Structure 1
Amino acid sequence: MWIKSGLPPLLLSYVVAMVLMVMPLPSMLEAWRPDWLSLLIIYWLLAIPHRVGVGTVLILGLLADILMGSVFGIYATALLIMAYPAIRHFQRIRNYSLTQQAIIVGMLILVKRAIVYELEHVLNDAVFQLPYLYPVLSSAIIWPWIYLILRQYRRRYAIR
């Protein structure tokens, strides 16, 4: 029964996002790596908010903490705070054009990265450098393609 519910393809998308978070890239592109997990979470929150919610975001955030080797709870906290406006206003955001959605996605990811930086700064004395914000721009730029690819994926595997 859970196979017909579209759960395996949904779980597979989470695994792919986690792999893309740590996949090696050329050093020139490393700073521009999009925030894959945040993009995926935002998409699923907008597309199927009745199935992907705070609990899912919390679990994915804790898994991201483990995967990235950060202090336990940093990514979870940042993802939860980032996800709240998407959950709260999903009906409104879904009706915006892809360009407007890309701007909103960029702002949400900026909030997430600012929270991660602040927590890392307080806990580990992290030093801010401008390349830390490059993923905000790259994520906003690729949002339209991510949206279209994941929409096709959702329809193909009947994720509802």
Structure 2
Amino acid sequence: MQQTKGIGVIYLSLVLALVLMVMPMPAMVKLFRPDWALLVLLYWVLALPFRANIGTAFVIGFLVDVLVGTVLGVNALAYSVVAFVMAANHQKIRNFSVLQQSLLIGLLLAFYHLMIFWLSHFLTGVYFLPDYLWPVLTGTLVWPWLFWLLRRVRRQFKVR
């Protein structure tokens, strides 16, 4: 029963992040929307890499592809690669301060957006715009608060 409750909290937080990703917003604000699903996924991979892993990242990335309307598999591949980097180094990253983690999350988000751009450019001929990088900045700034919130949720519901 304990493990089922823990998985439920993880999946509920990921579903809420997916809802935040597709929630309608004004065009100007939409440019600055953080990649909520990726940020929440990275938290769970950092906190519990045996519960949220590369397979979870692939499924969430595929759902993002479906919800956002991109070429199927682009976000799934990018989420999987970023989750692999986080899972492979989770023990080191846990020892960083939240500010250092935030900077590292910024680098991972930049890597994610670079992969999305490359794949989209090769598949559909998209050209780079500097506006693509605003979610990197906002995701970096949001990380400390999201980390604190999800850590509190994890401790409150005793997710292990």
TM range (shorter): over 0.9
Q: Deviations over 1:55-88 (max 9, x none)?
A: 1111111111111111110001111111122101
Q: Deviations over 1:13-53 (max 9, x none)?
A: 01101001111122221111011011011100110111111
- Alignment correspondent of 1:96: 96
- Alignment correspondent of 2:114: 114
Query: How far does residue 3 in structure 1 lie from its aligned partner after superposition?
Result: 6.7
Q: What is the percentage of aligned positions where both structures have the same residue?
A: 39
Q: What stretches of structure 1 of length at least 5 have no aligned partner?
A: none
Distance 1:90 1:96 in 2: 10
- Alignment correspondent of 2:71: 71
Q: What stretches of structure 2 of length at least 5 have no aligned partner?
A: none
Query: How far does residue 142 in structure 1 lie from its aligned partner after superposition?
Result: 0.9
- Alignment correspondent of 1:83: 83
Distance 1:151 1:53 in 2: 17
Aligned residue pairs: how many? 160
Distance 1:100 1:158 in 2: 26
Query: How far does residue 99 in structure 1 lie from its aligned partner after superposition?
Result: 0.7
TM-score norm. by structure 1 comes to 0.95
Instruction: Supply the RMSD in Å over aligned alpha carbons.
Output: 1.2
Q: In the alignment, is the contact (CA less than 8 A) between 2:62 and 2:75 conserved in 1?
A: yes
Distance 1:71 1:100 in 2: 33
- Alignment correspondent of 1:157: 157
What letter corresponds to residue 86 of structure 1 in structure 2? M
Query: How far does residue 98 in structure 1 lie from its aligned partner after superposition?
Result: 0.7
